[in-house]
Chain A
């Protein structure tokens, strides 16, 4: 298998960003969701990491393109490029470190400054497996999420608890937002007739030439 993958067919491609303080477990959430992997000795992320996974939402294949970057500094040159085009975000804090929860507010501000208002945000309290070290109560986080109008879930990348749910919930909500937008657009008689499927990123044009290779052996 080479560097190219054209195997996946999907109906929607959603960009989802992972944000939160350094060391809250963003990269492990990503690897747990996309590769079902977890590493206790992960290093801090350099640059930007990407991973994808397709799931089925309401009979549609939704491909999540998840972006992950280091959380050390808040103001960086890459910030605006990182958020650009994101339709979903997982704002992660560490339930054992209260300061990471305190910083959620600032992350939220940065996120809202750089993204569309319709972005789906999920507040994620990670490391819920460390019950004896808990420093942020579920009630506090729930109250905050309600106040800020975000979704909320506590996860454990180590125990694979709620990770799947968190991502699926975000993608489902994004799908809902997108279909509502499409519906509103379709109400306008000037747009495309109903029933026509709009394929985002479809490979139909390419598949025609798939048969004949350049190295026709």
Chain B
């Protein structure tokens, strides 16, 4: 170190300091330039990194995930590996960027701000000290030359300058080599990664080559097929022109579109076999073509529609496909379309319901042929060669271009629809005869395949119809007729809760509906609401017979000749109608076999029944009403209280019962006003009112089936419906309305159920609103 051998202030020392200062200044300039360059470099690196990331992302978006079918088609899984590699590379780049920033930029800026600044700073202080020293010297020239002040400042400056000098030596080299190291690592990592990818890239390339070859082969094959098809259609056209020379001669020659691949007979055969899977693969399209369809809007302009008749009974038409081949707008005019193509048909729809407007917005529309009929249209003379497809929601008028086409289409459509209808019935038959378990998959899939987006309610009903017998027969004792033990009973008595055979159901019908309400398990589809099924679930033949046949002598009871005793024995399925009739009459009308001993007087009292309803005990209610008369279901709370009084139990509530039969406005009833619960004042309430307040739908149904008066008013003139409205039990209210409750009955306050609902401020259940208003 040649510098500053002597630290005394001397011209040589000053010169030295000055030269170092100069070099420090220059260094600062250079540093600043380098700093700017570095800054730019990091920025560019960051951008490049973002660009890489973006590229990887867009590549991924393009190729999609593993599940995306389109993505797989264009080599998604392969590309995803590439994107991963790219992404990794970009993270390496990001890493490089951060290294550059930390090692170079940060250090540079630190050097610039701290060290060089410190040198400058101390220089300034030295100059200042020099100045003050000069001043002092002028004033006091006799004083000693050097002051401590000056020395300290000078030394400080020297120190700072030395610092810079040292840093110049090692710091820059250190950081530069660190940067080069970082670069080395970046490229090395990238190289390793890509090296790993190399065999894979080769693999992909060979695969791509293979695909290309395959595509070429496919294209050749397609071209061949197109050629074949063309010759075929030309042949067909020639044939047609032979048949209908007059009409066909007027037509153009460039035909395309519709052609039948299969004759109607083959469709019929394969469908009736029920080979659905075979069918859906092989002849999805039994006929297809481009048609003109008049749009359903009021403008009624003609639009080309491609439509497919598939053998599953659906006539689809697509919105967009029609515009593809040929696609000239002049086709909108009927004349030119006739001229251009003989296979075009006009497809006109007349809307009968506003609800079907929504169909237009869908890309694919379906006409369910099972529920449609087809007719030759003779009404519109301007629409020659027309036929109409009439479905419940729409009427489509279709016009063929010539007689042959029309017959072709009509035959196909009728053939498919009839074959479908018959096969459907057969299928149902099969499922019905099958055992409960194995039928469901085939049956369900068949119905759902038949109509993927069509009439859902129809399918639901079908599936429900097949499941109702299963549900009912699974119940205890329901595998046999309740009265004659015949197997597979498919008739039911709704109010008795039993299943029976068809012969016994005849007897039941003769008893009258006040004894037995007979319905078919399989045919009366609408009867079997979930709540009715729930009710049957709660009962079952075994339980019901335990009531109705409680005191029936066992089967092997010795038969006697007497008529009376003969009727006591349970008939067998083989027994004659007369015997069954006698037995059923004895069982349900005369109630001969109900065990009257076990049903004590206490059991049959109104209060027991009342408590049973309150406790939701369905079986108890059933057995008490069976043992008593029909009228027992219409007892009121007053009867219950009266009964308790007779039994000597003093009731705390009896004070408010003065048995005035004057109906009073509920607004004046203190018991009601004291709380919002309408069940608080039970005076005059029936069992139905009670069930409504308890809130059990199945109990409500049982009471209704047992003959409870649905519109019975309580002391305040409120029907069970009003009770439900006041408690806000919308489900029960709707059930009562569906079962025939009158919403127009006014309570003693002069309000109907709807008005009482309105008092509450809102009806959130729109169905309830409709039921209430329809009923008013």
Contact = CB atoms under 8 A, between A and B. Distances in A.
Interface in B721-772: 726, 748-750, 756, 758-766, 769-770
B676 interface: yes
A3 B669 contact: no
Interface in A177-217: 201, 203, 205-206, 209-210, 212-217
Nearest to B756: A3
A49 B354 CA distance: 27
A2 B667 contact: yes
A47 B681 CA distance: 30
A206 B671 contact: no
B664 A47 contact: no
Given A3-B726, A65-B758, A217-B656, A81 B671 contact: no
A6 B751 CA distance: 10
Contacts of A206: 665, 748-750
B443 interface: no
A75 B355 CA distance: 9
B679 interface: no
Nearest to B757: A50
B760 A3 contact: yes
B762 A48 contact: yes
A50 B665 contact: no
Contacts of A216: 656, 658
A5 interface: yes
Contacts, number: 102
Contacts of A3: 672, 676, 678, 726, 756, 759-760
B664 A4 contact: no
A137 B675 CA distance: 52
B656 A49 contact: no
Nearest to A203: B750
B673 interface: yes
A77 interface: yes
A46 interface: yes
B666 interface: yes
Contact of B668 (A1, A50, A81, A210): A210
A51 interface: yes
B681 A214 contact: yes
B670 interface: yes
A15 B10 CA distance: 112
A172 to B, nearest CB: 23
Contact of B761 (A49, A76, A214, A215): A49
B660 interface: yes
Nearest to B767: A77
Interface residues of B, number: 42
A84 interface: yes
A81 B770 contact: yes
A77 B766 contact: yes
B442 interface: no
A151 B189 CA distance: 80
Nearest to A76: B766
Nearest to B678: A3
Interface string A50-64: 110000000000000
A40 interface: no
B216 interface: no
Interface string B330-355: 00000000000000000000000011
B298 to A, nearest CB: 14
Nearest to A214: B664
A47 B764 contact: yes
B774 A5 contact: no
A51 B763 CA distance: 12
Contacts of B354: 75
A91 B275 CA distance: 59
A117 interface: no
Interface in A1-29: 1-6
B770 A215 contact: no
B294 interface: no
Given A65-B758, A78-B769, A213 B668 contact: yes
A47 B766 CA distance: 5
A210 B663 CA distance: 11
A4 B665 contact: yes
Contacts of A6: 665, 667, 749-750
A216 B761 CA distance: 31
A49 B665 CA distance: 25
A205 B664 CA distance: 11
A2 B673 contact: yes
A209 B759 CA distance: 23
Contacts of A81: 769-770, 773-774
A60 B762 CA distance: 27
A49 B762 contact: yes
B712 interface: no
B526 interface: no
Contacts of B763: 47-48, 50
B482 to A, nearest CB: 41
Contacts of A201: 750
A209 to B, nearest CB: 6
A2 B762 contact: no
B766 A4 contact: no
A6 B773 CA distance: 22
A55 to B, nearest CB: 18
A209 B664 contact: yes
Contacts of B672: 2-4
B716 to A, nearest CB: 7
B770 A47 contact: no
A84 B354 CA distance: 21
B766 A215 contact: no
Interface string B632-663: 00000000000000000000000010101010
Nearest to B764: A47
A201 B746 CA distance: 12
Contacts of A76: 766
Contacts of A4: 665-667, 672-673, 749, 759
A19 B25 CA distance: 82
A54 B367 CA distance: 54
A69 to B, nearest CB: 9
Contact of B662 (A5, A45, A209): A209
B683 interface: yes
Contacts of B668: 209-210, 213-214
A213 B668 CA distance: 6
B260 to A, nearest CB: 41
Contacts of A209: 662, 664-665, 668
B715 interface: yes
Contacts of B762: 45-50
Nearest to B762: A49
Contacts of B769: 47-48, 78, 81
A105 to B, nearest CB: 16
A48 B769 CA distance: 8
A1 B750 contact: no
Contacts of B773: 78, 81, 84
A134 B761 CA distance: 33
B764 A46 contact: yes
Interface string B694-709: 0000000000000000
A6 to B, nearest CB: 4
Given A210-B668, A214-B715, 18 more contacts: A2-B666, A2-B673, A2-B675, A3-B726, A6-B749, A47-B763, A47-B765, A48-B762, A78-B773, A81-B769, A81-B770, A81-B773, A81-B774, A209-B665, A213-B670, A214-B656, A215-B670, A217-B656
Interface of B: 354-355, 656, 658, 660, 662, 664-676, 678, 681, 683, 715-716, 726, 748-750, 756, 758-766, 769-770, 773-774
27 contacts: A1-B673, A2-B672, A2-B673, A2-B675, A3-B678, A3-B760, A4-B673, A6-B749, A47-B769, A48-B762, A51-B761, A77-B766, A78-B766, A203-B750, A205-B750, A209-B662, A209-B668, A213-B668, A213-B670, A214-B660, A214-B716, A215-B656, A215-B670, A215-B681, A216-B656, A217-B656, A217-B670
Q: Which 5 A-B pairs have the closest CB atoms?
A: A81-B773, A4-B667, A47-B764, A2-B673, A50-B758
